[in-house]
Amino acid sequence: MEALPQVLLFGLLRSGLYALTALGLAISLGVIGIVNFAHGEFVMLGAYVGFWLYLGLSGPLGLGPEVSPLLILVGVPLSAIVLYVVGLGVFRFTLRPLLARPELDQMLLTFGLSIFIVNATAIALSPQAQDAQMSWRFELLDLRIASVTYARVASFAVSMGLVIATYVLLMRTRIGKQMRAVAQNRLGAHLIGIPVDRVYAIAFGLSAALAAAAGVMLLFTTQLSPFLGLATILKAFSIVVLAGLGNLAGVVVASLLLGLSEQAVSQYIPDGAALRDGLFFVIIFVVLLARPSGLRR
């Protein structure tokens, strides 16, 4: 058994989607300074947009195996655009009025939004889990170390592509540089004439769009249900806490660490399921315990 290379491979593949989800969360936290408890619901809504497209493509159009690449090429951008607009709306009408209010109010609001979206989705659609039975979930790709499904490879590749694209956006474009400036120093950014309000809105939209893309890719590997947001966001939180708040570059490394350690626990610890699924909390707890001074105001 070549356990180690397999652990590394599967851990790496796991981490892609983690990074994509956590990056959006880190952007809203770093740039706007808001903890978005509804980020997981953006992932879920993005997944539903992808799912409807999948139903449309595979049902009336009768597309078979070709649906998987189409879902990536069309579904990811479509879902991202839809959620970008949703994000702008959510920011404009709920978060912006609260920017001057205490942190507690802001957190309560996003938490309330999260509860609202989950249950509204459950009522409007169905609380039952649904499954996009895509062929890629079962077709195997031989990577010599191990055979992995197309779905895993695709979700990793698309996620990493989008993560890299986001970093390029942040480093190279005008709006990206403005976002980083605002993240570093709100008042200073305002003083040198950066339209902080607009930067906030775009950052929040971008964060929702990234969540939506992650949601579509989640369809390849996971069942869809209105309740998938919670588990998603908790892992994302552990990554953001591990990377350090607002540290966008650390997100990829932290995701890799979570993915690898989850994989290692599954592989090496018998009956390690409880530990694997609780690992996100262990990470949060240990980070908070280990470096409190670095996390102070």
Partner 1 sequence: MSPDARRALAGWGGFLVLVAILPLLGVGSDRYLMLLANVMLMFMALALSWDVVARTGQLSLAHGAFFGIGAYTVALGHKFVALSPLLGMAAAAVVGFVIAAILGAVTLRLRGIYFAIATLAFGEVLRTVTLQLPDLTEGPIGISMPPLFDGDRVASYYVIGVVFVLALALSLGVRYTRAHYAVTAIRTNESVAAVMGVPVVRTKLLTFAASATIAALAGAFYMPFITHTDPTDAFDVSRSVASLAFPIFGGIYTTAGPVIGTIALRSLEEYLRVTPPWKEGYQVLYGAVIVIAVLFIPRGLVGLGESFRRGAFLPRKGGRAWRWSR
Partner 2 sequence: MALVEVDGLVRRFRGLAAVDGLSFAMDEGTTLALIGPNGAGKTTAFNLLSGLLAPNAGRVIFRGRDVTRLSADARCRLGMGRTFQVVQPFAELSTLENVMVGALFGGRAGSVPAARREAERLCGLVGLAEKTGWPVSMLTVPDRKRLELARALATRPALLLLDEVMEGLTPAEEREAIALLTRVRGEGITLLLIEHVMSTVRDLSDRVIVMDYGKKLAEGSYAEISRDPKVIAAYLGTDE
Residues 232-261 that bind partner 1 (CB under 8 A): 234, 237-238, 241, 245
Cross-strand bridge partners of residue 224: 130
The residue (of 177 and 276) whose beta carbon lies closer to partner 1 is 276
* CB-based contact 24:242 (threshold 8 Å): no
Residues 234-293 that bind partner 2 (CB under 8 A): 293
Residue 121 tokens read as 């989705």
Q: Which does 62 bind (CB under 5 to 8 A by kind): partner 2, partner 1, none?
A: none
Shortest reach from residue 213's CB to partner 1, in Å: 23
The residue (of 172 and 297) whose beta carbon lies closer to partner 2 is 297
Residue 216 tokens read as 């579509």
CA distance 82 to 213: 10
CA distance 296 to 107: 18
By CB under 8 A, tell whether 187 contacts partner 2.
no
The residue (of 286 and 295) whose beta carbon lies closer to partner 2 is 295
Q: How far is CA 68 from the centre of its chain?
A: 20
Q: Are strands 140-142 and 147-149 parallel, antiparallel or unpaired?
A: antiparallel
Binding-site residue total for partner 2 (CB under 8 A)? 3
Instruction: Give the residue, chosen from 4, 168, 231, 249, that forms a contact with partner 1 under the rule CB under 8 A.
Output: 231
CA distance 218 to 23: 15
Residue 40 tokens read as 């997981």
> Which range of residues in 2-10, 29-37, 45-53, 129-137 is near partner 1 by CB under 8 A?
29-37
Shortest reach from residue 62's CB to partner 2, in Å: 57
